[in-house]
Structure 1
């Protein structure tokens, strides 16, 4: 399993305690992909831009897909731009992948919506849970950026890799921009509604 898959499992496991919007999660999943690709190493960062390498891509199909989406020519693409581009509906892509792997299943029950997707008791879920309980630094940082926290058996180690820090900072900034855009639209809609009420 990969960091994006582990992150999605953690989010789904904590869904009862914290609601994460698909848009926010998609940006965080793209950041997780980028960090896995940095560690491969399939890419490197230069001045905040993604420089693709020439090593074979990762074995995971979704990470391979992510690696294939990089701009291959100078001046290359800034991390922030790639997060927005790659993060377009990425949550749905990973949900579909987990369902295909049997990590998610559609189940029916008295407390479940018809055909609701729920996590199965799979090795992937166990592995993600272990990373989470052990406060693996990258997984923990990505989850915290989504407002998810929980009890871990260990304190996370500091992240000292500058490239990883850069990606995490870009994810946090993108999430802030998305929230600001939502607030702007809410204010504009409220003003529009008030105008129509005044004209009635």
Structure 2
């Protein structure tokens, strides 16, 4: 039940070396939370709807917070809608939690007496566990890492998954990430067109 946290560790480590799309990471983290909460018995997925169970006591503040956001009246909320709602700003929340828990630290820029620099993941058992999960090519974890932009290839073994809930959540995460990429591309095209018009009018 550490999928979301392990994914956050890898995402923060990756962001220290190269830019990652925080929106993609946030959507993948929301999907990981759902799968962690399925494991905790806190929900079921009926078709594409999240059916909440008893509130869990996971010992993880962000997971408990996620469970508290479930819509508890029929027809309930779709997985995709929940991913978008829960995912807003979620990567930043996880990164702040890792720093608060002493698993990451913010470097200090020289000669600037304010909180600047970048956040780096420290060596810890949690980081080792997350890296071992990625190295093991565990299908579900690898699918979430792919959606978050932390690796390039979708694992072939994903096709062998038979758990309907897991496949529904992973499919919803993949669709949401593709939709977000479409939004980014449209904005880039619109921005480029505006710049061309502006230059042409000068």
Q: TM-score, normalised by structure 2?
A: 0.87
1:140 maps to 142
Task: Kindly report structure 1 stretches of 4+ aligned residues shifted beyond 6 Å.
Answer: none
Instruction: Indicate the RMSD between aligned Cα atoms, in angstroms.
Output: 2.5
1:67-109 superposed Cα distances (whole Å, 9 cap, x missing partner): 0000010000000000000000001100111011111012348
Q: Secondary structure at the match of 1:94?
A: helix
1:15-64 superposed Cα distances (whole Å, 9 cap, x missing partner): 46763211111111000001111111100011200000125342211100
> Can you give the 5+ residue segments of structure 1 that lack an aligned partner in the other structure?
none
* More displaced stretch, 12-21 vs 131-140: 12-21
- The answer as to whether partners of 2:21 and 2:149 remain within 8 angstroms in 1 is no
Could you tell me how far 1:114 is from its partner in structure 2? 4.7
- May I ask how many residue pairs the two structures share in their alignment? 196
1:170 maps to 172
Q: When you count strand as a share of all residues, which structure comes out higher?
A: 1
Q: Secondary structure at the match of 1:115?
A: coil
Structure 1 56/89 Cα, relative in aligned 2: closer, same or farther at 3 Å? Answer: closer
- The answer as to whether partners of 1:134 and 1:156 remain within 8 angstroms in 2 is no
2: CA distance between counterparts of 1:55 and 1:87?
20
> Can you give the 5+ residue segments of structure 2 that lack an aligned partner in the other structure?
none
Structure 1 109/188 Cα, relative in aligned 2: closer, same or farther at 3 Å? Answer: closer
- The answer as to whether partners of 2:16 and 2:118 remain within 8 angstroms in 1 is no
1: CA distance between counterparts of 2:157 and 2:85?
30
Q: Secondary structure at the match of 1:50?
A: strand
Q: TM-score, normalised by structure 1?
A: 0.88
Structure 1 59/135 Cα, relative in aligned 2: closer, same or farther at 3 Å? Answer: same
Q: Secondary structure at the match of 1:51?
A: strand
Confirm whether residue 88 of structure 1 aligns to residue 110 of structure 2. Answer: no
Correspondences of 1:1-200 after superposition (within 5 Å): 2-15=2-15, 19-54=19-54, 56-108=56-108, 114-149=116-151, 158-200=160-202
1: CA distance between counterparts of 2:25 and 2:55?
29
- The answer as to whether partners of 2:26 and 2:88 remain within 8 angstroms in 1 is yes
Could you tell me how far 1:127 is from its partner in structure 2? 1.2
1: CA distance between counterparts of 2:200 and 2:109?
47
* More displaced stretch, 56-65 vs 141-150: 141-150
